[in-house]
């Protein structure tokens, strides 16, 4: 589970902070509008060695950009 918080959204890009399990130090995901992939700028300290939380957060940011919907804060769950 990730908690994501919008850091900034411009016409060129969007940046979200993600918090693994909803707490701790944040990682950062950036996606340029019009591009296909979100970039992990920094991983959260609590992220595991393979970056599972970062991977899922990037996927969620990509979906936000595709929908052109940028919530200020939301929770992402997966199984």
Task: Sort 55 into a burial class: Cβ within 10 Å, 0-12 / 13-18 / 19+.
Answer: middle
41-74 per-position pLDDT tens digit? 999 998 977 889 999 999 999 999 999 999 999 9
Q: What is the pLDDT of residues 6-47, one digit of tens each?
A: 999 999 999 999 999 999 999 999 999 999 999 999 999 989
The token duo for 7 is 């850091």
Number of domains in the chain: 1
Domain that holds residue 59: 2-76
- pTM across the whole model: 0.94
pLDDT given for residue 11 in this prediction: 95
Which residue is associated with the tokens 């990730």?
2
């Amino acid at each position: 589970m990730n908690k994501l918080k919008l850091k900034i959204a411009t016409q060129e890009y969007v940046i979200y902070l993600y918090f693994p399990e909803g707490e701790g130090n944040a990682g950062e995901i950036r996606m340029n509008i019009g591009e296909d992939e979100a970039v992990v700028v920094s991983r959260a300290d609590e992220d595991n060695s393979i970056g599972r939380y970062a991977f899922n957060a990037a996927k969620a940011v990509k979906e936000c950009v595709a929908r052109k919907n940028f919530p200020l804060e939301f929770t992402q769950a997966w199984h």
